Each structure stands twice: as C-alpha cells, then as structure tokens.
A and B are shown apart, each in its own frame.
Chain A
C-alpha cells in the first residue's frame, strides 16, 4: 500500500511536470497531426489505386484510426535511454539511488506519469483528425476500451524492453545507439505505419514471432476490431513480460554491482 502510494505520487508529479512545458507538448501533437495528414493522402491514393474497400481487413477510416493508435503509442513512449544515460553521465544517479524506492519502479512510475496523459491527448487528437478527414468517427467506446486493455501490457512490455536497453548505460555510459536501433525495429516490425496483415508473408512471420508487434500493432488492431483476439494478445504479452522482466532484473542486478557513479 505504501509502495503504491509512493509510485502514484511519483507518477502524478511527473504527469504534472509534462505540462510544465506546454509549448513542447503542443509541438508533439502538431507532429502527430502532420504525420496523419501525410498518411491520409498516401492511404487515400492507395485505396483509390487498388479500388479495394478494405486493405488488410481495414477500411480507410479504420486504417487511419489504426495509424492514430500506433502513433499515439510511440509518440508517448518513455525516453528511458535519455534519462538514465544523463543520470549516469552527470552522476545524478547518486541522488536516484539514495531514495527509498526501487530505481526500476521509480523509472516505471515516471514513465507512466509522463506517457499516459500524452497517450490520451494523442489518441483524442488523432481521432479528431481522422474524423474530420473522413467524416466518420471510427473509434467507439468498445474500441477505446479494447485498445486501452491491450495498451497497458503493451506499455509495460515496451517499458521493460527499453528500460533493459537503457540500463546498458551503466556499462556504456550512453545507450542511445542501442535504443535508437531497437526503436527503429519497433517502428518497422511493430507495425507502426503498416499493419502486419499487409506485410510480405516472410516478414510478417518474423514480425509475429518477435514481441515488438505486441507493443504497437496489438493494441492498435483493437481499435478496428474491438476484443477480437484480445485474450490471445494479452496472453502473449504476459508471457513476454515475464521473460523480459526476468532479463531486466538480471541486467539491473549486474549493472548496479558494476556501477561507477561519476564525479565527486
């Protein structure tokens, strides 16, 4: 109970600090709008050129809503590598480690506080853009509920994976390259721009084996087909969460033991 109160307080404090810089937040949202407008034009042309009413099982408004869903996930994703790398380089880690809270849980609480409000804003803005452009509102309460149900474990999975990668800063001092490459893999194989159903078969097969699609494609797919395959998705997410969680714990234990905190 005490731990929950602590983590909630940390998450709320960081949610508030997100809005300390409204200009930067507005710019993120503008970026989302620009992406959606560009892809709106691209998908319109594609649907018109193929003459298909559905591509990969999605109508044009659903495809755009899918895109709003995936972009919302990635544009609100926590930047662990930046934060932990800076802690290691500046020696600020000394402060973090002298607080009576697990460093990992602290980072997760910060991520929840910063990401969840951004996700909701991004999703609302994205949906508004899609509705304005297509004249239909593809997101209903069922879609939103299914999306959020899949988003929570997807967020946890993303956080655990990128937290593990960011912890390599304990040895490398800068985990930017590792996390940059992985984030690009998430974009490509996670289904950020194109749903997995439209992937070439071989690439689609690889993408389905990897956990990356469970972070992006999985929840976004629920926007178009609420609750369809949700239980299987949650099961896969849980299994990967256990495996990656164990890896995170191992990396953290080794990293803290090998730590050289900078400066006097």
Chain B
C-alpha cells in the first residue's frame, strides 16, 4: 500500500512584484508513489520545490491542481486527522514551546496528539532515555543547546509513533555525535515500519537514512532510483589515482584534468562523456611504470552538492 501518492500535483504561486503580476511554478505535475515503510530522500537544488511539496503533503498548502494522498487521506482536506498519524521535523523551526521546560513540552504534545496520559509518559520516558536527555527535562527549551533541542525535536516528532515521518533538514547544525544519534533513532523508527520522507543537504543523512532517492528540479522529478545509483546517474566523472615506480611529470591528456601531483603519485579527473575510461588507463599504463592504479566515483557528498547547486541534467 502506498503511504504517499501524488498525481499531477502542481503548485503555482501568483502575486505582485514591483507592480507586475508574477507567476511562479513551485511544483509542476509531480507524480510520486512511496510505499509504506520506504525511506526516501527527496532532494534537489534550492527552489526546486522540495519544501512546497512537503507543505502540500502535510496539508499546509493547498495545491493549484493535481491530487495527493498520504495514508489514504487528502492532506489539505483532512489535515487534522492526518496530523495525528504523521510526524514532522523542520530542522530550522521548532515545534517545542520555548518558555516551557522540555519535559512539559513533551507532556503537552502528548495531550495534543490525543495519547492517554500514561501512554504519553511511557513514550516520553523511552525517547528521553534513548537520547540521554533525562537531566534536561526540567530545563526551559530556550536554554537548551541546538544539539539538545534537536534531540527533543526528534523525540517530539516520534512521541505518537507516526506512520509517516516528514523530515526537513533533521540534522542541520548538529555535531557528529548528535547527527549519528538522531539518524540512528530515525532508522529505528523506519525499521519499525514508519515511512521516512527526507529532505537534507547532508549526504550522510541521505546515505544512512534513505534507500531511494527522488531528485526534483523546477518542480519536476528528474531522477527516481536507488541512492546507490545516484552517483553513477548523476556524476559521470571518474577519479584516477596512480602510484608510479619512478618520479612522475603531469601528463597532457585531452579531456583529463590533473587534480594533484606528488613525487610518485597523480590524481586525475575526467568525464566519461568526453573520454573513455579504457583509453585513459591505456595511455597512463603506457606513459608510467605503474605500481598501483585505482579508478573511483566521486563521493556521494559531491553528487549531493552538485544537485543542490543546480548542476542537474536539464
């Protein structure tokens, strides 16, 4: 069963700028289906329509046309019913009450999510222990550090055991340890059956949390496949690292960029759309007494960075 399904989902923003009527397409006939229990990274350059899509799927925005269902409900029509079954983390905004102690905020959310008090207490206790937040329950949210607050944010989003988790930059600003903790808890929720819909600039979030990646640009899906195939699909660059038996001088090969030269080593980069791998390797083997050679894809981080910088196939 699909947890999220959209058909032709479109959002057009209309308004006035400098006295002129302007019309901007935020999301353009988006077709998407996400199965129950899937973990999907939804990525694309700034302004591609990621947040607008999330806002329509959580019922915040009404679409201009098209259809969407989340857990069988139309988000903008059944927003309150849907909200009982989904969890959201907007990394740059807080769902906690800044003036209240963190523990009181969790109790209040328990009431808002219609959990019986005993169940809310038990769930809060489990999550607080999971994140090691026991000593911070009495501290007003406004006095928590970013890392502490984000742990509470994620705990708050999981309090009612949501069936779908919408995560918009859930680890933004966190240190390495806090990121690992937050990712682990989200992974556990996914392993227990929650569908994860993730938007993040952090390649680590995508690599650890998502199995499938959907890339959008200008409101349209331009890639939908496994995270592992993102690299191959997205960057055609290859990196060659060569270790020579003798001292090296940089080669002059058409279409090949020399990234680094050391006494016995070279790092080269080229695009497979311009130069064949076999040709480059053959020329290197002919030019140097090779001790070792490796050919690799660029790291996923480069792929994500390229996607977010708008260097996507258009």
Q: A9-B112, A100-B112 in contact; A263/B83 too (CB < 8 A)?
A: no
Instruction: Choose one: A5, A16, A95, A264; the contact of B51 (CB below 8 Å).
Output: A264
A99 near B104 with CB under 8 A, answer no
A20 proximal to B (CB < 8 A): yes
Chain B residues near A10 (CB-CB < 8 A): 108, 111-112
Partner among B50, B55, B81, B104 whose Cβ is within 8 Å of the Cβ of A13: B104
Stretch at the interface among B57-65, B207-215, B231-239, B246-254: B57-65
Q: Which residue of A lies closest to B50 (CB)?
A: A264
- Asked if A259 is an interface residue, CB under 8 A from chain B, the answer is yes
Please give the number of chain A residues whose Cβ is less than 8 angstroms from any Cβ of chain B in the complex. 29
Decide yes or no whether A184 CB sits under 8 A from chain B: no
- The minimal Cβ–Cβ distance linking B216 to chain A, given in whole angstroms, is 13
Whether A17 contacts B100 by the Cβ 8 Å rule is: yes
B100 contact set on A, CB distance < 8 A: 13, 16-17, 20
Task: Say whether B62 contacts A100, CB under 8 Å.
Answer: no
Interface size class on chain B is 35 or more
Q: Which of B124-180 contact A (CB under 8 A)?
A: 140, 168
Contact A17-B81, Cβ < 8 Å, known A93-B60, A100-B113: no
Task: Judge whether A94 is part of the interface by a CB distance below 8 angstroms.
Answer: yes
A-side contacts of B184, CB under 8 Å: none
Q: In this complex, what residue of A is CB-closest to B85?
A: A100
Is A102 an interface residue when CB atoms closer than 8 A count as contact? yes
Residue on A nearest B84 in the bound complex, by CB: A100
A256 B83 Cβ-Cβ under 8 A: no
Measured between beta carbons, the chain B residues less than 8 angstroms from A101 are 80, 112
B21 in contact (CB, < 8 A): no
Query: Hey, which chain B residues are within 8 Å of A259, CB to CB?
Result: 60-62
In the bound complex, what is the Cα–Cα distance between A99 and B97 (angstroms)? Answer: 13
Q: In residues 75-99 of chain B, which contact A (Cβ within 8 Å)?
A: 79-81, 83-84, 86, 88, 90, 92-95, 97, 99
| Complex contacts, A21 vs chain B, CB 8 Å | 99
Q: Is A260 an interface residue (CB 8 A)?
A: yes
Are B60 and A9 touching (Cβ within 8 A)? no
A-B contact pairs, 30 of them (CB 8 A): A2-B114, A5-B111, A13-B104, A13-B108, A16-B99, A16-B104, A17-B97, A20-B140, A90-B93, A92-B93, A94-B58, A94-B93, A95-B94, A95-B95, A97-B79, A98-B58, A98-B88, A98-B95, A99-B83, A99-B95, A100-B84, A101-B112, A102-B80, A256-B62, A259-B60, A259-B62, A260-B13, A260-B15, A263-B92, A264-B51
6 closest A-B pairs by beta carbon, nearest first, are: A17-B99, A9-B111, A100-B83, A20-B99, A264-B51, A100-B84
